[in-house]
Chains A and B, each alone.
Chain A
Amino acid sequence: MDTLTVCYSWPGIDIDVLRLYIEPRRDNWEAAFVNGNPEVALLYAGEGEQIDQLAAVEIVGFSTFAAWDDLPDLPLRWRLAGEAPMTLRQLIRELQTRLVPHVEATARSGR
């Protein structure tokens, strides 16, 4: 199973959208929803009519995201630089715990 190195951005609660960018970064995106859910978009890059390289994953409503079954079922593992590879679900959950204060509190009390 291939492992992708990614970085992320999350502007905050007001623009509650997480993006995971696959390295090397490519842009000029075209978005496709996963399972028809606009909370989960795969952002593809390319040139002309060949827009077929997965470049990023976008999660709208990241701080409260729970539509785990709508994540893409891709045969990939995802790794932040210097960290262990994870499934996409594990990585998003991990970032929720790190970035969103109330998720961190819930995770601590629920563990």
Chain B
Amino acid sequence: MEIDEKIAAGMISASEIARGRDYWRDHLQDGVRLPTGETATITWRGLHHILDDGRLRAEPELMIQILRQVVEIRTERSDRRVALSYWIANGQPRWGYAILSPSGHVITMHYTRERTVKQFQRRGSLLWTR
């Protein structure tokens, strides 16, 4: 189901998608510099996939937060990499992750929880840590 179909079906708010698109144009379309120095990119198609998540639609700046606050990158299958993020928001620890394609495109990103982070840290090989 494409994003416009989801809007038409009332599953997703058109105004939130418009805000996410505006945010992408203003802040994301040229990529985001990771702490490693690499630039990760979110494509237009990837953006719409990411904006399925209501949290990221409500706060599109979290897309940048997840990418800028990367603390660890590990290998994954098919030359993908998983970038783990950690930050403090309103005094609370927050975790997120992004999966990067071999060419540095973000193919998915989410908030996650601490126990998932610990699972993540048992897989693959460590490529980079802050």
Residues of A within 8 A of B (CB): 7-9, 11-12, 14-17, 19, 25, 27-33, 36-39, 41, 43, 45, 51, 58, 60-61, 64
Q: Which of A17, A25, A64 interacts with B107 by CB under 8 Å?
A: A17
Pull 12 A–B residue pairs with CB atoms less than 8 Å apart, ordered by A.
Answer: A14-B101, A15-B45, A28-B53, A28-B58, A30-B113, A31-B111, A36-B122, A38-B76, A38-B123, A43-B53, A43-B110, A51-B113
Instruction: Find the A residue at minimum CB distance from B2.
Output: A9
CA of A40 to CA of B113, assembled, Å: 15
Q: Would you call the interface of chain A mostly helix, strand, loop, or mixed?
A: strand
Contact B11 A33 (CB under 8 A): no
Give A62 Cβ to nearest chain B Cβ, in Å.
Answer: 10
Residues of B within 8 A of A (CB): 1-2, 11, 43, 45-46, 48-49, 52-55, 57-58, 76-78, 80, 82, 97, 99, 101, 105, 107-108, 110-113, 115-116, 119-120, 122-123
Contact A38 B99 (CB under 8 A): yes
Q: Which of B1, B80, B115, B122 interacts with A9 by CB under 8 Å?
A: B1
Q: Would you call the interface of chain B mostly helix, strand, loop, or mixed?
A: mixed
Name the residue in A7, A36, A38 with the highest tally of chain B Cβ atoms < 10 Å from its Cβ: A38
Contact B78 A64 (CB under 8 A): yes
CA of A27 to CA of B13, assembled, Å: 12
The 5 closest A-B pairs by CB, nearest first: A27-B54, A36-B119, A31-B110, A28-B54, A31-B112
What would 11 more interface pairs be, CB under 8 Å, given A9-B2, A15-B105, A61-B80? A8-B1, A11-B46, A19-B49, A25-B11, A29-B111, A31-B116, A32-B112, A36-B119, A36-B123, A38-B99, A58-B108
Contact B113 A60 (CB under 8 A): no
Contact A38 B46 (CB under 8 A): no
Give B94 Cβ to nearest chain A Cβ, in Å.
Answer: 10
Q: A14-B105, A39-B77 are in contact. Are A27 and B52 (CB under 8 A)?
A: yes
Contact A15 B122 (CB under 8 A): no
Give A83 Cβ to nearest chain B Cβ, in Å.
Answer: 15
Q: Which of B11, B97, B101 interacts with A31 by CB under 8 Å?
A: B97
CA of A31 to CA of B40, assembled, Å: 21
Instruction: Find the B residue at minimum CB distance from A35.
Output: B119
In the complex, which residues of chain A have a beta carbon less than 8 angstroms from the beta carbon of B1?
A: 7-9
